Amino acid sequence: MEAWKMTQLGSIHVLPLTGNECILQIFGTLLLVSIIQFVAGDTPANCLYEDVRGTWTFVETERLGSNKINCDTLGAIAHVKNFTLAFPDIATDELGNAGTWTMIYNQGFEVININQRSYFAFSYYETGENSVTSYCGHTFNGWSRDKTVRNWSCFNATKTTEVPPRTTKQLTHMDLVQLYRNDPALVQKINQVQGSWRAKVYPELEK
């Protein structure tokens, strides 16, 4: 049968699944979404696709937890895995097992159903007084589960190649209330680096 399979927040793909697989996949995704919403909601991280694409080392605890597992502290490491996240969404491990992966907006990523397990973590960041620095080659502690939505564990991941930190200014109250102004220099830069569409200023928006 054809069934809906949710493979990322905000996207639904149609894939051939059996009835039991459909139920497990949907339940697992909804459970993960509920955990994400409960833990933090939006985070200020700003990590891009190219920051995440590449090879990562995952260190993981024993796979003995329930869906109530607390991953604030990682605990003893029982498994070390290397995953390569390739274009467009193919994930493989060091043994050749294949799955998929997806960005969760610009705040984290999920590796889905590789060797019967899935993994999700938020990208690591640190906050300053008026800025946020994203360390996109590292994650906070995240959650892993098997295909049956059981045998949960905690993990974190580090990319095997260096990703330069990215610092983003945090908006202040004054930033939010000031009037909009066009930026001709930015418009010019956009048009210089691509030609598929043309950016322009809109003076009427400044009124």
**pLDDT (tens digit, 9 = 90+) per residue, 142-152?**
999 999 999 99
Which pLDDT does position 174 carry in this prediction? 67
Among 32-36, 160-164, 176-180, the range of highest mean pLDDT = 160-164
Same domain? For 133 and 190 the reply is no
Q: Does residue 48 belong to any structural domain of this protein?
A: yes
The answer to whether residue 36 is domain-embedded is no
Task: Specify whether 115 is located in the same domain as 56.
Answer: yes
Residue 34 lies in a domain: no
- Determine the pLDDT at residue 147: 95
One domain for residues 155 and 200:
no
Position 29 in a domain: no
* 162 and 190 housed in the same domain: no
Do residue 92 and residue 47 come from a single domain?
A: yes
Same domain, residue pair 69 and 47: yes
Output the CA–CA distances (angstroms, integers) from residue 114 to 108, 123, 127, 166, 175, in the order listed: 18, 20, 33, 29, 44
Distance (Å, rounded) from C-alpha 85 to C-alpha 143?
Answer: 18
* pLDDT for residue 33: 45
Q: Does the pLDDT of residue 15 top 80, yes or no?
A: no
- The yes-or-no verdict on residue 48 having pLDDT over 60 is yes
State phi, psi for 29 to the nearest 5 degrees.
-70, -45
**How high is the pLDDT of residue 172?**
72
**Cβ 174 vs Cβ 155: under 8 Å:** no
Residues 81, 150, single domain; the answer is yes
Mean pLDDT estimate for the chain: 84
Say yes or no to pLDDT of 70 above 50.
yes
Residue 143: domain span: 43-168
Domain assignment present for residue 73? The answer is yes
Q: Which helix (H) or strand (E) holds 63?
A: none
Give residue 113's pLDDT band: very low, low, confident or very high (50, 70, 90): very high
CATH code at position 116: 2.40.128.80
Indicate if the alpha-carbon torsion angle 33, 35, 41, 42 is positive or negative. Answer: negative
Domain count for the chain, please give it.
2
Q: How far apart are CA 17 and CA 21, in angstroms?
A: 6
Find the mean pLDDT for residues 75-85: 97
Query: For residue 101, which amino acid is it?
Result: W
Report, as an integer, the average pLDDT of 83-97.
97
Residue 26 lies in a domain: no
- Structure confidence at residue 2 (pLDDT): 31
Task: Please tell me which of 1-5, 99-103, 178-182 the model is most confident about, judged by mean pLDDT.
Answer: 99-103
The confidence score (pLDDT) of residue 11 equals 36
26, pLDDT greater than 60: no
- Report yes or no on 35 lying in a domain: no
Do 94 and 137 lie in one domain? The reply is yes
Would the pLDDT of 84 be above 90? yes
Digit-coded pLDDT (tens) for 123-169? 999 999 889 999 999 999 999 999 999 999 999 999 999 999 999 98
Confidence of residue 35 (pLDDT cuts 50, 70, 90): very low
Report pTM. Answer: 0.68
Residues 147 and 47 occupy one common structural domain: yes
Asked whether residue 173 is assigned to any structural domain, the reply reads no
